[in-house]
Every structure is written in C-alpha cells, then in structure tokens.
Amino acid sequence: MGILCDYFRAPDAEAVRRVLELTEGSSPVIGEDAAFDGIDAKGIEPSVVLGQLIAAIEQAPFDPARQDTAVWPLGPEPGPGMIPDDDDPWSTGPWVFELDPRTCAALAGVADTDALAIATRWARAEELHPARPETLREVLDELSALARRAREADERVYCWICL
C-alpha cells in the first residue's frame, strides 16, 4: 500500500477547508480543475520523509519536534495514544497538514547549486532506501520551487495525504 502525498500552496487553512468540503476531501491539486498550485510527491509524507529532507538541508540530525498543523478532517484530532473508531475520518483520511514555517523556509532557501548534495544526503535516510539522489533531486527541486512561490505570494504550504 502506497501513501499519496500532494504538496500545495494556499492563502490559509480556511481556503483549504472550503475546497476540501466542496470536493469531499479530494486532492486539491490533481486534474483540470485543480484548486491550488501544487505537486504530486507520492511517498514523501511530511512527518518523517520530509523531515529527513529538512535534516539533509540543514545538515543536522532529524528533528521529530517540528510540528505541522492539522487542517483536515474537520473536528478534533485524536490525542496521543487515542485510537479513532474505524469510521472516524481521522482513521480513514484523507488528511491535510499545514507545514511548519521552518520547514517551508528551509525548502525555499535551497540553492540550485546545493540541490544534488542535499539529495545525496537525503537518499541516505532509511525510509528512502534504495533511492537514487538524481530522482530525489527532482522532488527536492519541485518542493523548493513550490515553497518559493508560496513565500513570494505570502501563502502557506500544505500536504494532502491519502492511503
């Protein structure tokens, strides 16, 4: 089973929720009627795999303390150790998270000249094994460009996730 992850930029969480309510949670970046500027980054989930990328950018250990903000589904997110019912949207998804501002800043700050070296460090992450740095560089380039467009438009970056 793969994890689908679409990263996109939007003005705010309320705009994201409005679109998701209209589309019943469908990806807001896929298809002719895409609501937001975004990219498909299958398997690059925000908490660990993207966190490993940020560690590679910063040349620092992976920091699990970075906190993304839940935007979707509506309703309270289950607390630590709580398991939602099978029919609870927190159990079934899709889920959308607003990326931590530090994550967006790190992505937007990647220089083209550093991208291959960063992708090479990122490829060493256990969660990506085996991965080719050249392939990961393409993803890094897309994520960095998206983060820069978001910064220029004073928008936030979000991740839509579906199993």
- The pLDDT tens digits of the residues spanning 61-71 come to 998 888 889 99
Count of domains observed in the chain: 1
pLDDT (0 to 100) of residue 84? 66
Query: 């928008």: which residue's tokens?
Result: 155
As a whole number of angstroms, the distance between CA 89 and CA 70 comes to 13
Cα–Cα dist 108/155, whole Å: 12
Q: Please report whether residue 155 resides in a domain.
A: yes
The pLDDT of residue 91 = 74
The percent of residues above 70 in pLDDT, for the chain, comes to 91
Average pLDDT taken over every residue of the chain: 90
> Which residues form the domain of 131?
4-75+99-162
Report pLDDT for 24: 86
Which CATH number does the domain housing residue 48 bear?
Answer: 3.40.1760
pLDDT band at 17 (very low <50, low <70, confident <90, very high): very high
pLDDT at 97: 95
Q: Would 9 be classed as within a structural domain?
A: yes
Q: What is the pTM of this model?
A: 0.91
